[in-house]
Structure 1
C-alpha cells in the first residue's frame, strides 16, 4: 500500500505497482442517473503484491497522459489516492477530492440508488463492474466504465481500488478502444449502438450520431423510447427486449425512418445481438444499422427476383422479349431493345431472304422495345420488323462472339464504328444517347439475339456493376426465350400433325349437314388429343365420332391418330357402336403392352362417343366410353342431353364387355351435338353448370349450322384462355328427298 499512499500525498505519482484485475467487457447496466447496477461477483484480488518492474517512460508528460484513471478509497468510500489519469479524465485535482466520499463525484444523490448500491458493495466486500456517470470538474457528465476491486492492506485494513475508462473518447483519444477498434467503429458506415439492460444508450459511434442527428453526449443514458422523432421506437423496444430475454440475435430487421420535417426518409436494416458476461448473464444489447434505401445489391436482388416471375411465363417469344425490355427500364437503362436472330423465327419470312442496303444487312428482328420517352424515339424499327446493322459493328460482333460490348461513353465522332451506321448516329445525337451496353442472349450454348441498353436522361454512365446486372438479367431472359422457342416449335409440329390427322372434308352426305370447330388449349403443351371424324359406311349409313386423348403435345396427337384409324377400321368391318368401343378398349391395352419393350410404357387413356346414323330409318345408334353425353336440339326448339350410359374410358381394360348403346330417332332438322369436355368444364366451372350453359347455347332454331357452331363457341368460351382442347361437331338431319 506504500505506492497507493504516495498517491494521496501529491496526486501525481504513478500507479504501476498496483495489481488489479483487468476491465471486463462488455458492460451490464449503466445508468444515466448513475445507478451502480453492475457485476457484484467477489473479486479474487487480495492485495497489490510486489511492484511490476518497468522502465520509466522517457517523457513524463506523455506518461501522465497515458496513465490509467485510478482511485483508492478506504472501507467507507473516502478517497485516499487519486491518479494523474483520473485527473486527466475528470478534471479534479487530487487535493480537491482527497478525503471526500467517492459518491459525491457521481451524478446522483449519495443517498439514492447509487449510494445504496455502493454502500452494499462496500459492506459485502464484493467486487463490482459496471457503468456510471461521473461529474466532471466543469460540471458535465462523463460516462465511464468502472471496476471496483477490494484490496487488503497491512494489518487487515480494508481498502478499495476504483479503476475507470471513458466511453466517449476525449480530445481525439481512443478511450477504452484500441486503434483498430476506433477505426472500425468511428469510421464505419454502419451505425453501432450499445444499450444497457434497461435499454438506455451507453455508447454509439459517429455513424449512429449522424443518423440520429444528435451527439453521443446529448443522448448517452437516454432510453430508446426517447430517440429522435422518426425512429420506430416501439418496434425497436420489442425487438431489443426479445434479444435480451432470449439471447437469439435478430438479423436484418427493417424499419422506416423519416426526418422530423418529413422531407427525408430511408429504410434501415438493423441487426441486434446480446452482449453477455463471462457467466452468460445479459449485460447489454448491441445494434448495427445500415441504410439500405439505395442499396444496389438490394435493387439487384429485387430485379432478378422479379425477372424470375415475370419473364418467360407466357412461352411466347415476342412477349418474353418485351417483358425483358420493360423490366429493364428505367432501373438499368432509359431505352432497351431486344433483337432476335434467325435462330428464333419471329415471322414466316426468313431474314436471309430480305434485301440488304448499301451499308447494312438484315441481321435481327425487333422483338421488344421500351423507353422512358413516349413513342420510343430511340428505336428505328417497330416490333416484328427486320433490324438492319452494318456487317462490321458491335451488334454483329456480340452475335458472333457471344460477348458483351461495353461502351460507357458514346462518342459519335468520325473514326468510330458509328461512321458505318449514319442512321443510328443521327438518332443517338438527337436523343442524347451517351452510354451503351450490348449483351448476347445465350441459352444452352446458342446465341439467340442481343439486348441493347442505352442511357439518355440518366447522366451516370454505365459501369461494370450495371453490365453484370444486365448480363444476369439477359441470361434469365434467354432461357425463357429458348423455352418459348422450343415450345413454339413443338406446338407448331403438334398442331401440324393434328391438322393432318383430322379429316379435311366433312361435307357430310345428302342425309346430314355437318359443322365442326377445334380450339387448342393455351397451355405449355398446347395441342392435345381431341378429335372428330365423319365418314360413310355401307348402306349409306354415316359414322360420327368425337374423342379426347388425355394429355397434350406430340404423344397425344400421335395417339389420337392411332385411335382414329382403329375406329375407322373397326367400323368398316360392321361392328355396332357398343361392340366397337369394347374392341377399341382391348386394342388400346395391346398398344400399351407393345410399348413395354421401351421400359417406359405410357398408359393410354381416352374418352370417345361413337354414333351411326341410318338415313333409311332415321335411327341413330350410339355408345360412349367415359365421354360427356351427346345433346339433341329438336327441330321446334328445346335441347335434351341424351341418357346414354357413360361407360368407362378407353384403356381402362373393360374390353371383354360390350358398351351399352342407345338408339334414338332423329327428325328432320334435328341437330345432334358431340363435343369434348373442354367445352363444358373448366377449373372454375363444374361440368353440371357447363352442361346447363350448353343447353342454352344450342337452343337456337332456324340458324345456319355454321352460325350455330360459332354461337356455341362464343357463348361457352368467349375471350377466356382455354385450359383444355375443345372439339365440337354439329350434325343436322336434312329433309328427305
Structure 2
C-alpha cells in the first residue's frame, strides 16, 4: 500500500503554507478579503490531489475529517489502497484511468474506508489537472454524502417554501438592499423581483412610509434579537381599491455558521381579515357599551328637558359631533293623536349637544318648521332613519334651519343623520346628528345604533311628557282648590304661598285658607292631607269646603277639628293634619287648635320669634281624641306663621335643627309679609324636595288690647 511520496517534507511544508486567505488576497487584489461563506465549512468539503500513479500529493485539513487520516499519514500513499476496500480496487482503478486518459470528470457517491475501519459513503467530484511540467494530476473534491444530502434536502425545502409560501418573504443585506424576494412579496409590493434586488428598502416601499420598516431592520441587525409579530397597517399596490391592509411583520437577523452577519429576513403575513373582524367586534362592543351607557344615563328623571339633554349627551362625541333633540310641538301641548304629514312639521328643540362645533343659535324651546323634504320630516314620516352621508355647503340648507346652516358649514359638517323618536307606535319627534370633525361619514351601522338609542330614549321622553302633563294637571287642580288671593280683613294683613313638590307624587295634599267670620273675626287655616297626587288634592278640596262650612257655624277651634275628624274618616285619603286659628281684633287674641300639626310660630313685635305651645293632638281621621283650644294674646305688630311640614322636614337634617333654623330666619327687624314668605322658601326649600309646602302669615295691623301670651 505504501508507494513513493510525491515530493519531500519541505515540499509539503511549502504547499501547506499557501492558505485560503492568501489566495483571496492575491486573486482579489486587496488587503482585506471578503469573509468566507459557512456552507463549505458546514459540509466539510475536502480536496485531495493524486499524481498520475494514484499517489496522494495534496491532502487538505478537511480531508482528515472525512477519511480520518492526517496529511502526514496520507501524503505519498496510494489513495486506492489507503481508502478503498479491496473489493472495489478494480472499479476505482478503471475510473481513475478513464479520468486521467480522457480528461473527463467523474462525479458520484462511493463507499470509502475510514481510518477507524468503518465504511462511509462519500460524494466525489473528480477532474484531471495539468501541471507546469506537463504532468497530469487528479483533483478529488469530497464531502460526506449524508451531510450533502441533508443540505440538498434543506435547500430544496427552503427553496420550495420560499417560492410557494403565501407569506411574503424577503432578504436584505446589511445595507438594507434587497437580495431576494419571493413571489408573494412581489405581489404585496406590486413590483417584480428585478425591481427589488439591489434596491434599498425605502426606494421599493415608496407607496408607504418606509421609516418603521427600516428602523426595525436596523434594530434587528444591530441587536440580533428578532422582532416578532409586529402589527402594521399600510396600503398595498396589490389592492386596487387602495384600502389599508393589516400585516403581522417579523424580522430576523441572518448569520452564517461562523456568526458572520449576512443580512436580515422579513416575513409579512396578511391579517387584514382578522384585523377587520377584530375591529368589527370591537366596534360592536363599543356600540353595545354606548347603548348600555345611554340606558343608564337617559331617563334618570321625569323631567322632559333633562331627558332630552341626556339623550343628546349620550350621542356626543362617541357617535356624532352634534346632536339635536326635537319633539313635535303638538306632542308637547298634550296631543295624543298620531302625527300625520299634512304640511310643515312644527318641531320644538329640547336639547342640543356639540363637540368642537360652534354654538348654534337654537336655544331650548326654539320652534322650527320643517318642509316635507327635510330629513327630520322624512324620518318622522317613514318612521325610519334618513341618511345624508355626503353633504356640501349648499346641501346643509336642506338638513338644518337657515340660521344654523351657515354655522354648520363653517364647522365643516359633511354628514347628517336623522332618526325618529317613536314610543308605543307614536312619533314624538326626531334626533338629528351631524359630523364635522369626525371625517368618517355616517353609514347604515350608525343609523341602526342611532335608532336604538332614540327608541330607548323615546320611551323615557314619552314617560316624562306624560308625567309632566299629569303633574301640571295635579298642580292646576291643587291651585284651583286654593284661594287665589286672601281677602282683606279688618285689623290683620295676610300672605300665603303654595309650592308644589318636585315630583307628581308630592303634589296635592297641602292647603291654606283665610275665612272671613262675623264680628270682624278671621279664621286662619293650614292643613296637609297624608297622600299625594290628584286623590290627595281632591280630599284637600273637600276638607277645605267642610272647614269653611263649619267655620260659618262659629264653632270653637277644637270643636271644629272634632267635626273635621269625623268627616275625614269617610274620605278617600283618610288622614290629614290641620291647624285652625281664629283671630279676634276686638279682643286682641287668637284662639288656636291643632290636629297632628306642627306648632305655629308667634312673631312678637320687637321680640324673638317662638314656637307656640299648642297641644299637637292627633291627625284628622284617627278619631276618639279631641283637640284642645289655646288662647294667645296678640297686639299691634305681632305676627303668626302657620306652615306645613314640607317647609322644615328634610331627609338629611333633624326636625329640631330645622325648627331652630326657621326661628333664626324669622328673627330681626320685621320684613313685609310677602318678602318674608319668599325668604323662608328660598332658605329652607330645595328644588328637588319630594313634598309640597304651604305657609300662611298674618300680622296684626290695628286693634285694642295688649299683646299677651297664652291664657
The Cα of 1:332 is off from its aligned counterpart by 0.5
Q: Are 1:527 and 2:495 an aligned pair?
A: no
* Distance verdict in 2 for CA 1:736–1:327, change over 3 Å: same
Task: Answer yes or no: is the 8 Å Cα contact 2:569–2:575 preserved in 1.
Answer: no
Query: Secondary structure of 2:325's partner?
Result: strand
Query: Which residue does 1:371 correspond to in 2?
Result: 354
Task: Answer yes or no: is the 8 Å Cα contact 2:374–2:399 preserved in 1.
Answer: no
- Of 434, 442, 449 in structure 2, the residue corresponding to residue 454 of structure 1 is 434
* Distance verdict in 2 for CA 1:420–1:464, change over 3 Å: closer
- Of 323, 336, 342 in structure 2, the residue corresponding to residue 336 of structure 1 is 323
Counterpart CA distance in 2 for 1:537 and 1:405 is: 68
What whole-Å deviation, never above 9, does each CA across 1:604-657 have from its counterpart, x for those lacking one?
Answer: 221111111222222222111111111111112112211111111122x31x44
Counterpart CA distance in 2 for 1:419 and 1:610 is: 62
TM-score (norm 2): 0.57
Query: Which residue does 1:551 correspond to in 2?
Result: 531
Query: Which residue does 1:599 correspond to in 2?
Result: none
Task: Answer yes or no: is the 8 Å Cα contact 1:412–1:418 preserved in 2.
Answer: no
Q: Are 1:581 and 2:556 an aligned pair?
A: no
Q: Are 1:711 and 2:668 an aligned pair?
A: no
Task: Answer yes or no: is the 8 Å Cα contact 1:522–1:722 preserved in 2.
Answer: yes
- Of 632, 640, 655 in structure 1, the residue corresponding to residue 602 of structure 2 is 632
TM-score (norm 1): 0.55
Residue correspondence of structure 1 range 3-402 to structure 2 within 5 A: 295-345=282-332, 361=344, 363-376=346-359, 379=360, 381-402=362-383
What whole-Å deviation, never above 9, does each CA across 1:261-282 have from its counterpart, x for those lacking one?
Answer: xxxxxxxxxxxxxxxxxxxxxx
- Of 402, 417, 421 in structure 2, the residue corresponding to residue 437 of structure 1 is 417
Task: Answer yes or no: is the 8 Å Cα contact 1:549–1:559 preserved in 2.
Answer: yes
Query: Which residue does 2:632 correspond to in 1?
Result: 664
- Of 608, 613, 618 in structure 1, the residue corresponding to residue 578 of structure 2 is 608
The Cα of 1:574 is off from its aligned counterpart by 2.7
Query: Which residue does 1:468 correspond to in 2?
Result: 448
Greater percentage in helix = 2
Task: Answer yes or no: is the 8 Å Cα contact 1:697–1:712 preserved in 2.
Answer: yes
Query: Which residue does 1:675 correspond to in 2?
Result: 643
The Cα of 1:728 is off from its aligned counterpart by 1.2
Query: Which residue does 1:185 correspond to in 2?
Result: none
What whole-Å deviation, never above 9, does each CA across 1:360-404 have from its counterpart, x for those lacking one?
Answer: 94621122112222533xx46333222132233332222223222
> Unpaired runs of 5+ in structure 2?
1-148, 151-160, 166-227, 232-247, 254-276, 705-711
Query: Which residue does 2:38 correspond to in 1?
Result: none
The Cα of 1:346 is off from its aligned counterpart by 7.5
Query: Which residue does 1:26 correspond to in 2?
Result: none
Query: Which residue does 2:613 correspond to in 1?
Result: 643
> Unpaired runs of 5+ in structure 1?
1-136, 139-168, 174-207, 219-289, 593-602
* Distance verdict in 2 for CA 1:711–1:407, change over 3 Å: closer
Residue correspondence of structure 1 range 588-599 to structure 2 within 5 A: 588-592=568-572
Query: Which residue does 1:80 correspond to in 2?
Result: none
Query: Which residue does 1:239 correspond to in 2?
Result: none
Counterpart CA distance in 1 for 2:308 and 2:400 is: 27
Task: Answer yes or no: is the 8 Å Cα contact 1:520–1:722 preserved in 2.
Answer: no
Counterpart CA distance in 2 for 1:421 and 1:505 is: 45
Task: Answer yes or no: is the 8 Å Cα contact 1:390–1:420 preserved in 2.
Answer: no
* Distance verdict in 2 for CA 1:657–1:431, change over 3 Å: closer
Q: Are 1:687 and 2:626 an aligned pair?
A: no
Task: Answer yes or no: is the 8 Å Cα contact 2:376–2:399 preserved in 1.
Answer: no
Q: What's the C-alpha RMSD, in Å, of the aligned pairs?
A: 3.8
Counterpart CA distance in 1 for 2:692 and 2:473 is: 16
The Cα of 1:443 is off from its aligned counterpart by 1.1
What whole-Å deviation, never above 9, does each CA across 1:282-311 have from its counterpart, x for those lacking one?
Answer: xxxxxxxx9899822332232222222322
The Cα of 1:549 is off from its aligned counterpart by 1.4
Aligned length: 444
* Distance verdict in 2 for CA 1:637–1:437, change over 3 Å: same
Query: Which residue does 2:384 correspond to in 1?
Result: 403
Task: Answer yes or no: is the 8 Å Cα contact 1:343–1:448 preserved in 2.
Answer: no
Query: Which residue does 1:511 correspond to in 2?
Result: 491
Query: Which residue does 1:200 correspond to in 2?
Result: none
Counterpart CA distance in 1 for 2:397 and 2:484 is: 55
What whole-Å deviation, never above 9, does each CA across 1:566-612 have from its counterpart, x for those lacking one?
Answer: 111122123221122122121111224xxxxxxxxxx4221111111
Query: Secondary structure of 1:658's partner?
Result: coil
Counterpart CA distance in 2 for 1:591 and 1:606 is: 11
Query: Which residue does 2:688 correspond to in 1?
Result: 721
Query: Which residue does 1:735 correspond to in 2?
Result: 702
Q: Are 1:571 and 2:551 an aligned pair?
A: yes
* Distance verdict in 2 for CA 1:468–1:568, change over 3 Å: same
* Distance verdict in 2 for CA 1:535–1:452, change over 3 Å: same
The Cα of 1:344 is off from its aligned counterpart by 3.2
Counterpart CA distance in 2 for 1:424 and 1:712 is: 44
* Distance verdict in 2 for CA 1:642–1:170, change over 3 Å: farther
* Distance verdict in 2 for CA 1:325–1:636, change over 3 Å: same
Task: Answer yes or no: is the 8 Å Cα contact 2:506–2:690 preserved in 1.
Answer: no
